[in-house]
Amino acid sequence: MYTIKEIFDQAISDKDSIVYYADNHVSAHNYGVKVLMDYKTKKIELLDTTRETFYYSSITDAQAEVFQSSGWNVGAESVKLDSMIRRIDKIEKLIKAEVNGSNNPRRINLLIRSKEELVLEHRRITELNK
């Protein structure tokens, strides 16, 4: 089990993370996850940057369990895979709406290609983790 401080340290030292030092906090960002520590309170937050909201939302409890059990890299990759599944579902809904709506073949083909690319990327990542 990893503590939140250990996860933060892993994120900061990860060569693939983008680390940002500000006046009041330090943060690292990778795979759609941002981990930040406030200098004054020493509070550490894990945020999901892939959700379509006005501000980054906290990761889910299930995602937090993955971070605690497996660390930064596996946890961040898990959030990325969750995001890909959400995007695939959204594209499927858009395809159905387009077929039932204006039925524009170019738009439908574009959406299908986008979905196929996401599915292939998701499959590639999951196979690498086996």
Q: pLDDT confidence of 118, banded at 50, 70, 90?
A: very high
Q: How many domains does the chain have?
A: 1
Reported pTM:
0.83
Rounded mean pLDDT, 116-129: 90
Contact 53, 65 (CB under 8 A): no
| 3-state helix, strand and coil shares in percent for the chain, rounded to the nearest 5 | 55, 20, 25
The 10s digit of each residue's pLDDT in 21-37 is: 999 999 999 989 999 99
DSSP 35: E
Containing structural domain, residue 48: 4-128
